[in-house]
């Protein structure tokens, strides 16, 4: 510690680098928390969660039985109870997070009674999101086809959009505060843009051939939306345009350009619509898919379209164009996530693959993420760390943490009993919170590693104290023995001195008989 302070004082240490190193160490030591536990009262699977952007404090979770739970991740930290474990002599702060708001959507009534279908709920909630500017409002999407706007303070639905098809995902722009619009991915092959001010669907993004599973608004631009569908495609849209999408990602990076349609392309498509001769179709490279199968559709004289004229006449031009949109995965796209800088998109599909996409170039970054597992065609929620360096991916019953740039598997978290549906990153505590079909919400942090360090520290402290005490006792015994020897020697010296003094004062006469008979006479 002293060395670190000295290096910081002379300007040798980099605080930002130290912070990054600490975050990296935390990700490498993540495990199930031994101090924190989240209590749930739902009877269905946890489908999705969200932590508010405004305060980074409140956790919102929705479940398949229509229960909405909100947790205060700060208040319980202040009101925690200290439990003492005398066996290990370790003081731990065991925190149980209780929901501060528990809503059963079946019993919720609409304040303004706009939609009669939402008075009672027969199906669960599939997706949720906080209003980015304030925690007084949040959004949910249900399997009954309704997008609900909730008043947090009143715990009531204030507004509802009935989109008729069940909602797979919703997204609200976190940077555009002026436009109160929600993007909803539905099962009817369209993405609906709902305006809260007018209480209506103002725009539809049309182009997918099957139901849209994932939708995410760009964190950098208020006009860009990424969508993923069951048709295996990922498309980038500009909400200001109504004709077509901007970009379609190709997992094989086929062609030199992935931009969908510029103004010139629109005129080209209109000309192709007017021309009924299939031999004169000149399709742009932007819709051309690389030949990986013998029956892949191509343009040209020797193409499959030319060989099967009878079948081709049954298709319209728009169907032919949509058939040639490149595939981003070999299966259903189940989740999308933007990096914080808006430069890349991370996608996952039921082909058990994770792809990283460069938005500017429109191509896949050649990074392999090993041991990923996802075989379900239903939506799941993966997330990224606050700096975008780590991917948190639901991997069946486990959670995998990858390095975004290298694809290295950093940590594998085991603790759930059934399939994990959602993961969120909690920036304040540098922890991960996950929800699963086992109806549990688990908290993952470095407390287990910290506890082991505390135990080792206490053991080492005990050992040092014992050694210190033994050394003190040994020194004390040596000093006592030395003092005894000194005292004995002093006593002997004193006795000798006394004898000398006595001998000088009382001299002893010689024991001799000097008397004679003559003297007696």
At 317-333, the pLDDT tens digits run 344 344 489 999 999 99
Q: How far apart are CA 30 and CA 447, in angstroms?
A: 8
Residue % of the chain over a pLDDT of 70: 66
11 dihedral zone (left: phi>0; alpha: psi -120 to 50; beta): left
Q: Are strands 390-395 and 212-217 parallel, antiparallel or unpaired?
A: unpaired
By the 8 A CB rule, do 345 and 363 touch?
no
Lowest mean pLDDT segment, chosen from 29-43, 67-81, 251-265: 251-265
Q: What superfamily in CATH does domain 2-269+324-451 come from? A: YVTN repeat-like/Quinoprotein amine dehydrogenase (2.130.10.10)
Give the 3-state secondary structure of residue 159: strand
Average pLDDT, the chain: 77
Per-residue confidence band for 29, with pLDDT thresholds at 50, 70 and 90: very high
Lowest mean pLDDT segment, chosen from 355-359, 424-428, 480-484: 480-484
Provide the pLDDT for residue 201: 87
Q: Is the pLDDT of residue 278 over 90?
A: no
For the ranges 169-183, 309-323, 346-360, the one whose mean pLDDT is highest: 346-360
User: What's the pLDDT tens digit per position in 83-108?
Assistant: 444 344 444 567 899 999 999 876 65
User: What's the pLDDT tens digit per position in 378-424?
Assistant: 999 999 999 999 999 999 999 999 999 999 999 999 999 999 999 99
Q: Which residues of 166-177 are buried (b: 16+ CB within 10 A; e: fewer)?
A: bbbbbbbbbeee
Q: Is the pLDDT of residue 511 over 70?
A: no
Q: How far apart are CA 97 and CA 33, in angstroms?
A: 13
Provide the pLDDT for residue 174: 86
Q: Which residues of 458-494 are buried (b: 16+ CB within 10 A; e: fewer)?
A: eeeeeeeeeeeeeeeeeeeeeeeeeeeeeeeeeeeee
Eight-state DSSP code of residue 381:
B
């Amino acid at each position: 510690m002293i060395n670190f302070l000295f290096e910081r004082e002379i300007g040798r240490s980099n605080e930002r680098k130290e912070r990054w190193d600490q975050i990296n160490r935390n990700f490498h030591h993540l495990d199930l928390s031994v101090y924190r536990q989240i209590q749930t009262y739902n009877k269905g699977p946890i489908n999705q969660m969200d932590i508010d952007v405004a305060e980074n404090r409140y956790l919102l979770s929705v479940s398949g039985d229509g229960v909405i739970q909100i947790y205060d991740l700060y208040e319980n930290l202040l009101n925690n109870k200290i439990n003492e474990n005398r066996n290990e002599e370790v003081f731990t702060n065991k925190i149980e997070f209780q929901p501060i708001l528990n809503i059963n959507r079946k019993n919720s009534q609409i304040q303004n009674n706009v939609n009669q279908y939402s008075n009672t709920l027969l199906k669960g909630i599939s997706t949720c999101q906080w209003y980015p500017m304030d925690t007084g409002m949040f959004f949910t999407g249900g399997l009954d086809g309704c997008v609900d706007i909730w008043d947090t303070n009143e715990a009531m639905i204030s507004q509802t959009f009935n989109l008729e098809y069940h909602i797979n995902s919703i997204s609200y722009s976190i940077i555009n505060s002026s436009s109160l619009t929600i993007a909803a991915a539905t099962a009817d092959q369209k993405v609906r843009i709902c305006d809260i001010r007018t209480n209506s669907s103002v725009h539809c993004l049309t182009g997918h051939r099957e139901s849209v599973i994932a939708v995410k608004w760009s964190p950098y631009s208020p006009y860009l939306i990424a969508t993923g569908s069951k048709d295996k495609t990922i498309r980038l849209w500009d909400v200001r345009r109504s004709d077509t999408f901007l970009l379609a990602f190709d997992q094989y990076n086929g062609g030199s350009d992935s931009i969908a349609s510029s103004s010139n392309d629109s005129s080209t498509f209109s000309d192709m619509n007017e021309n009924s001769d299939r031999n004169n179709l000149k399709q742009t490279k932007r819709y051309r898919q690389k030949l990986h199968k013998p029956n892949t559709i191509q343009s040209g004289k020797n193409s499959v379209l030319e060989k099967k004229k009878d079948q081709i006449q049954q298709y319209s031009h728009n169907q032919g164009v949509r058939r040639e949109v490149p595939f981003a995965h070999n299966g259903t796209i189940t989740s999308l996530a933007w990096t914080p800088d808006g430069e890349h998109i991370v996608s996952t599909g039921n082909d058990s693959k994770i792809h990283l996409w460069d938005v500017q170039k429109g191509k896949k970054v050649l990074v392999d993420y090993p041991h990923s597992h996802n075989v379900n065609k239903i939506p799941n929620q993966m997330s990224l760390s606050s700096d975008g360096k780590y991917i948190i991916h639901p991997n069946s019953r486990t959670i995998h943490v990858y390095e975004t740039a290298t694809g290295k598997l950093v940590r594998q978290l085991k603790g759930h009993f059934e399939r994990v549906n959602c993961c969120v990153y909690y920036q304040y505590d540098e922890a991960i919170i996950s929800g699963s079909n086992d109806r549990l919400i688990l908290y993952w942090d470095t407390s287990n590693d910290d506890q082991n360090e505390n135990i080792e520290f206490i053991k080492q402290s005990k050992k040092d104290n014992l050694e210190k005490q033994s050394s003190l006792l040994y020194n004390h015994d040596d000093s006592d023995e030395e003092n005894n020897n000194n005292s004995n020697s002093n006593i002997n010296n004193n006795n000798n001195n006394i004898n000398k003094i006595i001998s000088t004062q009382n001299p002893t006469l010689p024991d001799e008989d000097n008397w004679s008979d003559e003297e007696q006479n």
